[in-house]
Structure 1
Amino acid sequence: MADRSIGAILSGLRHLSADQVERIVHLQREQNLRFGEAAVRLGFVSNDDVLYALSQQYHFPYSPEESRTASPELITQNHPFGPQAESFRAIRSQLMMRVFQESRERRALAVISPQAGDGKTYFAANLAVVLAQLGGRTLVVDADMRAGRLHDVFGVENRSGLSGILVGRTESKVIRQANGIPNLFVLPSGNPPPNPLELVERPAFGLLMKELVGKFDHVVVDTPAAASGSDGAVIASRCGAALLLARKDQSRVAELQDLLASLQQTSVAFAGVVYNEF
């Protein structure tokens, strides 16, 4: 925990005067409140300011509302204490037991689903954020070389990425630091190739995944929809573990069964199904 007190962080954040601090302390003692609660009651800071101060004290990535630049899709970064973020943390807990146990062989987790629009990119991005919030080095890989979106979600360049690595181009700084999350890194998809399936079927992709799981504590991989081709199943087999995403009122049982059947023909560890209501 940081040495700075909540009062010191809030004072620096909102440039509180000595008189304002004195009034806060007086109300704090008078009504037996925390410093932040008293400051909010007096209108000197907001609840968001207090959450930011707590995040600084407990080393938890969080940005004040007025300085947020993250995509609205990153609800776990923009609203880390909301109900949706709590749902992602609950899923994270399950995955830490099923996939990311230290006693098990290191594996990456592929997020797969039947159709485009099921929410794979949204899910993979937010899962990566909550994994990074544990403190370990986390990498999210955009393996959807047909229509990758992770670079837009995280606001990173996509001039070079996974496709370039797989065709043997020497590219520097392909893995990029995500803004606002110290332990989170992004490997974008790169320029769309004409042969994405062939690229992930080649040995180079499997070797790359083994190298990445050796360098990062958690690796999450976004994939193309199964309707676009068999890329997702191939990617999952190279990652070692897969999580199936189903969308409310959209996913068909037959499609989910077909996708599961394709995984059963490989050695991939199936982590479970997540039901996306959004």
Structure 2
Amino acid sequence: MAKFSYSTPQGSGGAGATASIEKATSIHDRSIGAIISETRDLSAEQVEQILAYQREKGVRFGEAAIALGLASADDVLMALAEQFHYPYAPEERRKLSPELVALNQPFSHQAEAFRAIRTQVMMRVFGEGESPRRALAVVSPNSGDGKTFFAANLAITLAQLGGRTLLVDADLRGPRQHMVFNIENSAGLSSILSGRLESQVIQQIQGVPSLFVLPVGVVAPNPLELIERPAFGLLLRELTAKFDHVIVDTPAAVYGADASVIAARCGAALVIARKNASRIGALQDLVEILAETPAKMAGVIMNEY
């Protein structure tokens, strides 16, 4: 299980009204029992069997259904997610994208850690009244620190709040977000920065209505030159105006200046290090380099998985 610790730098109405209310009630306002019954296509007799067990044992409907073998734990989690308007990936999607723990296991301790970090990020980067609006660059000293994994799950937790969230894969040296989300990667950021017109480069993520991903597209031979061009800064300003939250994945600092350049364009940076793997010297060097850029340091995350 991945664990994270973080540090930061300094009238009337009657029947007619009742009918209107009932008509306005959405599918999300149904009980857990009703959702599970519909999902499993339970008969009236099976529902009564569950209710009888529930009364006898003093447990919840979902627990009773699981105990009787009439529903699975996954059915209950899906019902909870639907009732509380919380995106939760179906089983087939979880197999395709196993790294997306905030979507696959939204009620786990690991997902809760991401939500705790989301709270800090919301206060330090995406707070109301912040001007100009910032994007958040997720950076790390070395490859394998969990930067891509972290950026993806942070973006999911931000989208789960309901605000339009965009995850930009700006790792033009070793892109992975398209694999993490299992999406098309024929066109993307590199196409835009090189001046090629492409349609639908930003893709909405199935099952998370507020989440969008801009993949890298074709890996370019001149990644640093592309992000140093004015077009990248102009693009980020446009994206931060259109989305509530913009998270940007970056190449590891060991590959060059890409990460610091991207952080400067974004306006904020969050550093990821991996426990028992990241070298203290490399981490300190990265923090010092970022301190010399216009980027606001949001904090340092120690990835313990």
Note whether the superposition's TM-score is higher than 0.5. yes
* Shift of residue 67, structure 1, vs aligned partner: 5.7
Secondary structure of the corresponding residue to residue 273 of structure 1: strand
* Shift of residue 128, structure 1, vs aligned partner: 0.6
Find 1:91's aligned residue among 117, 130, 141: 117
Q: Distance in 2 between matches of 1:158 and 1:38?
A: 45
Task: Find the counterpart in structure 1 of residue 21 from structure 2.
Answer: none
Could you list the runs of 5+ residues in structure 1 that have no partner in the other structure? none
Do the aligned partners of 1:49 and 1:64 also contact (CA within 8 Å) in 2? no
Matching of residue 125 in structure 1 with residue 147 in structure 2? no
Instruction: Provide closer, same or farther for how the CA distance between residues 204 and 66 of structure 1 changes in structure 2, counting only shifts above 3 A.
Output: closer
After TM superposition, the structure 1 = structure 2 runs for residues 129-144 of structure 1, keeping only pairs within 5 Å, are: 129-144=156-171
Deviation larger for 143-152 or 77-86: 77-86
TM-score (norm 2): 0.88
After TM superposition, the structure 1 = structure 2 runs for residues 1-278 of structure 1, keeping only pairs within 5 Å, are: 2-65=28-91, 68-105=94-131, 106-278=133-305
Deviation larger for 267-276 or 24-33: 24-33
**1:97-149 CA-partner distances (Å, limit 9, x unpaired):** 11111221211100001111111111101111111111111110000011100
* Shift of residue 262, structure 1, vs aligned partner: 1.3
Could you list the runs of 5+ residues in structure 2 that have no partner in the other structure? 1-25
Question: Runs in 1 of length 4+ with deviation above 4 angstroms?
Answer: none
* Shift of residue 28, structure 1, vs aligned partner: 2.4
Secondary structure of the corresponding residue to residue 192 of structure 1: coil
**RMSD of the alignment, in Å?**
1.4
Secondary structure of the corresponding residue to residue 180 of structure 1: coil
Secondary structure of the corresponding residue to residue 68 of structure 1: helix
**1:58-116 CA-partner distances (Å, limit 9, x unpaired):** 11011343563441111111111111111111111111111111221211100001111
Do the aligned partners of 1:144 and 1:223 also contact (CA within 8 Å) in 2? yes
**1:126-179 CA-partner distances (Å, limit 9, x unpaired):** 111111111111110000011100000001111100000001111100000112
Give the counterpart letter for 1:236 in structure 2. A
* Shift of residue 34, structure 1, vs aligned partner: 2.4
Q: How many residues matched?
A: 278
Do the aligned partners of 1:154 and 1:179 also contact (CA within 8 Å) in 2? no
Q: Distance in 2 between matches of 1:191 and 1:33?
A: 54
Q: Distance in 1 between matches of 2:142 and 2:62?
A: 46
Q: Distance in 2 between matches of 1:275 and 1:119?
A: 10
Question: Which structure has the greater CA radius of gyration?
Answer: 2
Do the aligned partners of 1:177 and 1:185 also contact (CA within 8 Å) in 2? yes
Deviation larger for 177-186 or 65-74: 65-74
